[in-house]
A and B are shown apart, each in its own frame.
Chain A
Amino acid sequence: MAVSYEMYQEQILDHYKHPRNKGSLPSATKNARDTNPLCGDEVVLHLKIDGSDRIADVRFEGQGCAISQASASMLTTIVKGMSLGDATALDRDAILKKLGIPLSAVRLKCALLSLHVLKVALGPKPDVSK
């Protein structure tokens, strides 16, 4: 891209415009949702965990800025097929590395929203109340 808008690199815009694994998942066994009140970003994750504790399938739904939605799309590609142990151990660095863009403190919240939702989904008490 001709412009030097580092935050909006090709891979971010690609995931934003063509999100992977987007939609509902009726067979999901774990679901969670959260929002970023700053900009109204919303991410819902649906996870289907199989008998051998693997994430057999994943979908996300949501709306919001390019960073939050691209990050959610990327997250689904990372965790699909992953063991529950590995998914639980995923940290922010893994997401930020995948995003590969410089982020201000404010935009970091957008970028990490989907990881937070994953943690809630895999945590002891999935929070679906919000």
Chain B
Amino acid sequence: MARKDRMAKPAKMLLNVPAIQADFPILKRTVRDKRLVYLDSAATSQKPKQVIEATSDYYSRYNANVHRAIYELGEESTREYEGAREKVADFIHAKAASEIAFTKSTTESINVIAYGYGLKGKIQKGDEILGTVMEHHSNHVPWHFVKDHKGAVLKYVDVADDGTLKMEQYDDLLTRHTKIVTVTLCSNVLGTINPVKEIAKRAHEVGALCVVDAAQAAPHMPVDVQSLDADFLAFSGHKMLGPTGIGVLYGKAELLEETEPLLGGGEMIREVHLGWAKWNDVPYKFEGGTPNIAGAIGLGVAVDYLTKLGMDAVRAHEMEVTQYALEKFDRLKGVTTYGPKDVKRRAGVVSFTIEGAHPHDIASILDVEGICIRSGHHCAQPLMERFDLPATARASFYIYNDLDDVDALIAGIKRVQEVFA
């Protein structure tokens, strides 16, 4: 597309995107001779060379199991692994590194909460767990287990047509029977940023805990567990420049103490006898088995990378790209976008449909152009049912995306419309 066709672009982006792009080896490759336009960071982000080198460095220089080896390599691996825990704690403003347990994913983290605090712990028959219609499957299914095994009652706050939570309905559903409120900080389909601080405050007023799914928020905006007053919070490394297979469970210290471990085995014990065992201290009791050491170290470096950019700048950059994208989308006939229109209330996740073209076909045709987007139900089937959609296409932005990527997407959408005209 010729430059003159574009809407006015800001003279200078808030992040130095070319410099950032240079850090990501994968962005140098082509797809069928086309420039790679990666717009699926909500599924998984790409990795900067600093993260790739850190994991490689662990395996090449000081690979040893953590917390056990008496020799120098083990000292180094333990120091780096625990150092990563401290970086993550600082990143979300936890009070102590011991409030951070490494898991394999957001999914595992939420399962630990649902199982260890809910199913094995505090939740009794008739207790209510209040979720929302916009949750990812990973914040639905673990609570189904608690319902099935403990007789808990599951209730859900609906989503309004504009993609925001119906807060007045939240007030109605919140009662003294509510024990847990579980909510995503940012929707992986609509991009909606939920008022979690307010949600947690009201939950606490009735004595309920607030569990926060921060999988889509932690990579893209400042997350402060003190300010949110979140009781538990979960996110994944791979969506925030880190390796796959590493996730984070944050919990207030006293709540982690009350939570039973999900995995029994090595590392998570203090002592084991025939027939019984005593758990290790928090957070180690949640880290049964040899952990993903390289993953944690890589995540620590990813946190360094994001911290150096500044999460406020990351957020501002994505607001700018999203604003530009929404304006472009608005001008397209036969294309519908979902979620809040105001970028202050949403993140850089744009779900859309094109009249006459199935989302899967949209993704296939964009793929021909080297553009990677998501299509499907995005692991949020209840939300898709709410909007009566079998599927949507979804583009999502991150620090390495610029307005040219948006232009490529919009041009690709026009090609889709040509094919299905």
Contact = CB atoms under 8 A, between A and B. Distances in A.
Chains A and B bind each other: yes
Interface of A: 1, 3-5, 7-8, 13, 38-42, 63-67, 107, 110
A66 B390 contact: no
Contact of B360 (A1, A5, A39): A39
Nearest to B376: A39
B359 interface: yes
A1 to B, nearest CB: 7
Interface in B334-386: 357-361, 364-365, 368, 375-377
**7 A-B pairs with least C-beta separation:** A65-B360, A39-B360, A65-B358, A40-B390, A66-B361, A40-B391, A65-B361
Contact of A13 (B360, B364, B368, B420): B420
Given A5-B365, A5-B368, A63-B390, A39 B358 contact: yes
B415 interface: yes
Nearest to B420: A13
A105 to B, nearest CB: 13
B419 interface: yes
Given A3-B419, A13-B419, A39-B391, A64 B376 contact: no
Contact of B376 (A1, A4, A40, A107): A40
Contacts of A5: 365, 368, 419
11 contacts: A8-B364, A8-B419, A38-B376, A39-B358, A39-B359, A39-B360, A40-B377, A63-B390, A65-B364, A66-B358, A67-B360
Nearest to A41: B360
B360 A3 contact: no
Contacts of A42: 390
A8 B358 contact: no
Contact of B361 (A3, A8, A38, A63): A8
B168 interface: no
Contacts of A1: 419
Given A8-B365, A66-B358, 16 more contacts: A1-B419, A5-B365, A8-B364, A38-B360, A39-B359, A39-B360, A39-B376, A39-B391, A40-B376, A40-B377, A40-B390, A41-B360, A64-B390, A65-B359, A66-B361, A66-B420
B183 to A, nearest CB: 26
B137 to A, nearest CB: 12
Interface string B399-421: 00000000000000001001110
A44 B121 CA distance: 45
